[in-house]
A and B are shown apart, each in its own frame.
Chain A
Amino acid sequence: MKRSFRTVAAMVAASMTVSLLAACGAAQKPAATSEVSTAPSTTAVASESTKPAEKVKFRASSFFTGGDTWTAAWQEAIKDFVAANPNVEIVDDSTPAASDAFKTKINTDFASGNEPAVAYAFTGEIGKPLVTSGKLITWEDELSKDTEWSKNFGQGALDYVKFDGKQYALPYIGFWEGMYYNKDLFDANNIKVPTNWDELLAAVDAFNKLKITPIACSFAEEPHYLIETFILSMGGKDGHDKPFDASWAPALDKIKELYEKNAFSKDALTIKQTACQQLMKDKKAAMFISGSWSAAALEGDNTSVMPVNLLPGGKAEPSSTISGFSTGWYVTDKGNKDSNGEAVKFVKWVTSPERAGKFFKVGGVPAINCQVEGATPLFNAGIQMLNSAKVVTGPVGDTMNQQAFTHIWKNLPYVITGKKTSPQLLEEAQKLVK
């Protein structure tokens, strides 16, 4: 039942994303401003709170900190909201997403009764601990009560982040996954940008001869996107969406084949994700499989992005892309009551089109009909990839419990170094499915 729901949700998200992006794409043109004028304005929200009000303080958690793409937008949002609402104090309790630090922090906070009032956190199976804690509000009432605000959300995005049919989270920053490539490295060395497996292997050989890392990938921290895109490429949407489909093992074997051909950096088993990003930026790596969140860091370096459907015998339609909304805004019941409703007000303010535009300016796929000014070429390339995708689906990591998928990505190094077989790894992971 749940599986079929997710498939439907992914399809809805796909159609919604395409329509949304069409809206956002249009919004990048100076003349397109109509959707902004109908939304609740920042000043309107601020003026409500100019009445003398009781001082309140609440904690807001997110992973927008350190080198994260949206750190500046998040910090500015808090600052602006507090400036417009002097009775409110917001404690920014953000933790980096790298190495699962944020997941650990938010899960332990909810489990130990130290939950924040507002959390921008993961949805789907990863967000399950937050939902099952019984501490969250649901948004249905607010969405139906304030249609001026709620009409800006894409229905597909709202459906995508529902858990057991309930709206515990509000979607915000969506994503796509794809293969970034340094166009100038390919052009300068007369190497063809790969569109099939043989061309990929030829590019790997050519870059190895030039002592340039062909594909930057951190097997220690985030091989997730490599796994997900290869599984989609091999099994197509049906194989990808069916947990432990027969196509999964051959997909993992293709990663092993690339590893054996030295397609990854020599320290691929220990390098951190940020270092991979830096290799791409410094033109020391030619390709990098990641998501839209990396776009801001790679911008301005003659980099583009494409789908990763290169596996021989793969069933994926060539334009197939992984995309979705696997993060969203949560508000805790207690946090909202303790803050006299300011927690909900803050989330509604952040999800207003004007404020959302500031977030999406630096990256991500908007769940809100908004105007994105000054979108970068790489942002547009990602949007173009998604608009061209005939098949869009959510990542496999969202379809199973965290233990099972963690086992797959954590133990992938054993497969690529030949210490385990891919069927063996998948069998172990399948035993952890609950």
Chain B
Amino acid sequence: MVLKSKKYIFIFLFPAMLLITIFLYYPLGKTVQYSFTDYSEWSPVFNYIGWENFHRLFTDSIIGKSLINTLILLVGCVVVEVGVALILAVLVDSIKRGFRFFRMVFFFPVVISGSAIGLMFYLAFQYDYGLMNNIIAVFGMEKINWITENSAMYLVLIPVLWQYVGFYFVIFLTAIANVPADIYESAELDGITGFKKTIYITIPMIQEVIVTSLGLVIAGSLKVFDIVFVMTNGGPLDASQLLSTYQYQQAFVYNNQGYGSAISVLIITLGLIIYIVTNKLAQQKEGLY
């Protein structure tokens, strides 16, 4: 009986496994393979060069810069996307009117494409035709060159964070709505309200959702590409270069597919390490409650 039911499990899982193998694991395997080659200029002929591409990762100064920028983005995403989304969810959950309105307003940026958002913010910060400079010109102020080597990374963070706060907000809002009302009622009888209620009841009760969201945020922040690509293309002077945009640049602009693949392997490895560490930490934290 058990074997019979397992047979059906395999039958039903097979199509999904086939698709995921073709479109995910096979390309992943090829990426790892190419990372050990001198594949470039889309030439069908390439040679295996051992660890050379990986050695280059350690000597390429832009990799260091991209790594730092990616980590800044990751920290920003974890703190702002999860943090602000949680605060907004708690606040909106506690209001009696306008619940649907706020849910729609905060979720709206999620449905806009990343490239459209990138273009929108690029146009806003443009020097000659940009919205920001037109606004300050109304007040008689000198135009500002917004996107500079020092500011670029922080400016690209704004649309990235703005886009996804709404996504986690909706997840947290749904999780909070699923917390049994009788727990809150019991707590109220014990005199726990407001901030304490959030800290001692709401957050522990949705802890699993928060941990899952953290995983999604980490994976998502390593994949951020479109907004940065459209807004600054990693510039100026690679100041907003992320691992993802640099990988694209190497593979598709420089046409160095071997080195581009090595950067991809670095991104995957980094993502796995951070995800595992976060999960371990979250599991340890779980024991506290």
Chain A residues in contact with chain B, CB under 8 A? 99-100, 103-104, 107-108, 110-111, 128-129, 132-134, 213, 219-221, 265-267, 269-272, 275, 278-279, 284, 401-403, 406-407, 410, 413-414, 417, 419, 434
Q: Which B residues, 123 to 180, have Cβ-Cβ distances below 8 Å to chain A?
A: 126-129, 143, 145, 147, 149, 152
**A278 in contact with B129 given A100-B252, A129-B255 (CB within 8 Å):** yes
**A407 in contact with B129 given A129-B42, A129-B43, A267-B145 (CB within 8 Å):** no
Contact B41 A128 (CB under 8 A): yes
Contact B237 A414 (CB under 8 A): yes
* Nearest CB in chain A to that of B39: its residue: A111
Min distance, Cβ A382 to any Cβ of chain B, angstroms: 26
Contact A104 B235 (CB under 8 A): no
Q: How far is the CA of A277 from the CA of B253 in the complex (A)?
A: 23
**A406 in contact with B253 given A110-B42, A134-B44, A278-B129 (CB within 8 Å):** yes
Q: Across the interface, which residues of A come within 8 angstroms of B147, CB to CB?
A: 267, 270
Contact A406 B235 (CB under 8 A): no
Q: How far is the CA of A385 from the CA of B20 in the complex (A)?
A: 57
Interface pairs A-B: 7 shortest CB-CB: A269-B236, A129-B42, A267-B127, A104-B252, A266-B145, A111-B42, A270-B147
Q: How far is the CA of A132 from the CA of B122 in the complex (A)?
A: 38
Of the residues B40, B149, B233, contact of A220 by C-beta under 8 Å: B233
Q: How far is the CA of A128 from the CA of B127 in the complex (A)?
A: 38
Contact B235 A270 (CB under 8 A): yes
Q: Across the interface, which residues of B come within 8 angstroms of A133, CB to CB?
A: 42, 44
Q: How far is the CA of A266 from the CA of B145 in the complex (A)?
A: 6
Q: Across the interface, which residues of B come within 8 angstroms of A100, CB to CB?
A: 252-253
Q: How far is the CA of A407 from the CA of B60 in the complex (A)?
A: 13
Min distance, Cβ A86 to any Cβ of chain B, angstroms: 36
Q: How far is the CA of A253 from the CA of B232 in the complex (A)?
A: 25
Q: Which B residues, 217 to 248, have Cβ-Cβ distances below 8 Å to chain A?
A: 232-233, 235-237
Q: How far is the CA of A419 from the CA of B61 in the complex (A)?
A: 13
Q: How far is the CA of A108 from the CA of B254 in the complex (A)?
A: 13
Q: Across the interface, which residues of B come within 8 angstroms of A104, CB to CB?
A: 252-253
Q: Across the interface, which residues of B come within 8 angstroms of A134, CB to CB?
A: 44
Q: How far is the CA of A270 from the CA of B129 in the complex (A)?
A: 13
Known: A133-B44, A406-B255, A417-B237. 13 other contacts (CB 8 A): A103-B252, A108-B252, A111-B44, A132-B44, A133-B42, A270-B147, A275-B126, A279-B128, A406-B254, A407-B254, A410-B249, A413-B236, A434-B40
Contact B235 A413 (CB under 8 A): yes
Contact A401 B41 (CB under 8 A): yes
**A270 in contact with B128 given A107-B255, A402-B254 (CB within 8 Å):** no
Min distance, Cβ A274 to any Cβ of chain B, angstroms: 11
Whether B31 sits at the interface, judged by CB under 8 Å, is no
* Nearest CB in chain B to that of A105: its residue: B252
Q: How far is the CA of A394 from the CA of B170 in the complex (A)?
A: 57
Q: Across the interface, which residues of B come within 8 angstroms of A266, CB to CB?
A: 127, 143, 145
Whether B279 sits at the interface, judged by CB under 8 Å, is no
Q: How far is the CA of A406 from the CA of B252 in the complex (A)?
A: 11
Count of residues in B whose CB is under 8 Å from the partner chain: 26
Contact B126 A271 (CB under 8 A): yes
Min distance, Cβ A373 to any Cβ of chain B, angstroms: 35
Q: How far is the CA of A434 from the CA of B236 in the complex (A)?
A: 28
Whether B256 sits at the interface, judged by CB under 8 Å, is yes
Fill in one digit per residue for B34-78: 1 if any A CB lies within 8 Å of its CB, else 0: 000000111110000000000000000000000000000000000
Q: Is the interface of B mostly helix, strand, loop or mixed?
A: loop
Min distance, Cβ A322 to any Cβ of chain B, angstroms: 22
* Nearest CB in chain A to that of B144: its residue: A266
Contact A403 B236 (CB under 8 A): no
Contact B126 A402 (CB under 8 A): no
**A269 in contact with B235 given A108-B252, A403-B256, A406-B253 (CB within 8 Å):** yes
Q: Across the interface, which residues of A come within 8 angstroms of B149, CB to CB?
A: 269
Contact B254 A271 (CB under 8 A): no
The interface centre, meaning the residue of B127, B128, B232, B249 with most chain A CB atoms within 10 A of its CB, is B128
Q: How far is the CA of A213 from the CA of B237 in the complex (A)?
A: 21
Q: How far is the CA of A213 from the CA of B147 in the complex (A)?
A: 18
Q: Across the interface, which residues of B come within 8 angstroms of A270, CB to CB?
A: 147, 152, 232, 235-236
18 A-B residue pairings within 8 Å (CB atoms): A104-B252, A104-B253, A220-B232, A265-B128, A266-B145, A267-B128, A269-B149, A269-B235, A270-B152, A272-B122, A284-B128, A402-B41, A402-B254, A402-B255, A406-B254, A410-B249, A414-B237, A417-B237
Contact A271 B42 (CB under 8 A): no
Contact B129 A419 (CB under 8 A): no
Q: Across the interface, which residues of B come within 8 angstroms of A103, CB to CB?
A: 252
Q: How far is the CA of A134 from the CA of B44 in the complex (A)?
A: 9
Q: Across the interface, which residues of A come within 8 angstroms of B256, CB to CB?
A: 403
Q: Across the interface, which residues of A come within 8 angstroms of B254, CB to CB?
A: 402-403, 406-407, 410
Q: How far is the CA of A80 from the CA of B84 in the complex (A)?
A: 56
Min distance, Cβ A397 to any Cβ of chain B, angstroms: 13
Min distance, Cβ A408 to any Cβ of chain B, angstroms: 11
Contact B43 A132 (CB under 8 A): yes
Q: Across the interface, which residues of A come within 8 angstroms of B41, CB to CB?
A: 128-129, 132, 401-403, 434
* Nearest CB in chain A to that of B257: its residue: A111
Min distance, Cβ A410 to any Cβ of chain B, angstroms: 7
Min distance, Cβ A338 to any Cβ of chain B, angstroms: 21
Of the residues A108, A220, A407, contact of B236 by C-beta under 8 Å: A220
